[in-house]
Amino acid sequence: KQEVTQIPAALSVPEGENLVLNCSFTDSAIYNLQWFRQDPGKGLTSLLLIQSSQREQTSGRLNASLDKSSGRSTLYIAASQPGDSATYLCAVRPSSGNQFYFGTGTSLTVIP
């Protein structure tokens, strides 16, 4: 079974700082990896999806990278803003099987 780990569980940074969130997975045989954002009491909003053949994806101030061989993905957030405060989840889709496996998330607080 794929195990997905996100460290740290919580992160607090001052506004304007660039930051990196980490996601590691145990089985490198993946189909794709997806980063989500979850605001308190809300659903999951997709941020970026990286296919196994890709190294990175970018959307605005967000950049996600994927290194399958080392079982790692990072989500880079540039020039953080208070509105970025949320929990960020990564989910891994193995090459076989029908589901994504989720990490427990990193709770980000951006201090004005």
Partner 1 sequence: NAGVTQTPKFRVLKTGQSMTLLCAQDMNHEYMYWYRQDPGMGLRLIHYSVGEGTTAKGEVPDGYNVSRLKKQNFLLGLESAAPSQTSVYFCASSYAGGYDGYTFGSGTRLTVV
Q: Please identify which residue in 11, 13, 49, 62 interacts with partner 1, judged by CB under 8 A.
A: 49
> Both tokens of residue 48?
């970026």
At its nearest, how many Å lie between partner 1 and the CB of residue 102?
A: 4
Query: Between the CA of residue 27 and those of 38, 39, 40, 67, 83, what are the distances in Å?
Result: 25, 29, 30, 12, 33
Which one of 16-24, 63-71, 78-86, 94-102 is the stretch in contact with partner 1 (CB under 8 A)? 94-102
Backbone angles phi, psi at 84, to 5 degrees: -80, -10
Q: List interacting residues with partner 1 (CB under 8 A).
A: 31-32, 34, 36, 41-46, 49, 51, 89, 91, 93, 98-100, 102-105
